[in-house]
Amino acid sequence: MATAASSLTIASSFSEHRTRIHSLKCSNLPYKANSRSKRLVVSSVSSPKVELRTGPDDLISSLLSKVANSDGGVTLTPEQHKEVAQVAGELQKYCVSEPVKCPLIFGDWDVVYCSRPTSPGGGYRSVIGRLFFRTKEMIQGIDSPDTVRNRVSFTALGFLDGDVSLTGKLNVLDSEWVQVIFEPPELKVGSLEFKYGFESEVKLRITYVDEKLRLGIGSRGSLFVFRRRQ
């Protein structure tokens, strides 16, 4: 999500994915790392060693709690961004092999975090842009076999509802990387609706995906956290 056009998040109506999402599994694909819970040994002078377990579910809960109510990462401090990156790094150890082949990538996702908060939405999410546009939702939809739709909805000047959206074609580059070529963005504000700009391209590495969460790292190193919409 490199520019105002290429980094908008995504929305589409994919009801068929919502009805069958719980039946989709990637269990036939092995984990890149041992999928058993990691073990943390806690020692005490006065008590025997206690073994605690930290698995993907715990890491997901921790990650979502760290990015909650942060306006997609805007309000987090540098130290908090580091904590998010640390948890995401641990979680990606549980990613299935060849995540681009996992059917769980399809569906509708909220973009709940980006390490570079101005990446999703481009100029609309910049420091100046946020003075005039209050973000309401950032959504990404991925439709089988190769359609991606991004949408950022906002309130302009405190009273005008609007959104900017992109539609793109997904191309698989290898077992983890995908490329999306987007058409020019479409802007809607009040009764106005028009397209502007040019085609754009983004590349994203899928580092984790399951029924609840998807992680991605952009070609410029930005970390994205996507939570599946209910």
Residue 68: predicted pLDDT = 97
Q: What percentage of the chain has pLDDT greater than the value 90?
A: 63
Other C-beta atoms within 10 Å of 128: how many?
9
pLDDT at residue 81 greater than cutoff 90: yes
Residue 126: predicted pLDDT = 73
Write down all domains in the chain, each with its CATH number in brackets.
56-228 (2.40.128.280)
The residue among 72 and 54 whose pLDDT is bigger is: 72
pLDDT at residue 38 greater than cutoff 90: no
Residue 118: predicted pLDDT = 75
Angle between helices 78-91 and 56-67 in degrees, nearest 10? 160
Residue 156: predicted pLDDT = 85
Other C-beta atoms within 10 Å of 84: how many?
20
Is this structure's pTM higher than 0.85? no
pLDDT in tens, 115-170: 997 777 666 777 777 778 888 999 999 999 999 999 999 998 888 999 999 999 99
Calculate the dihedral angle through the C-alpha atoms of 25, 31, 32, 33, rounding to the nearest 10 degrees: 150
Residue 184: predicted pLDDT = 96
C-alpha distances in angstroms, 34 versus 55, 64, 180? 11, 23, 31
User: Average pLDDT of the chain?
Assistant: 82
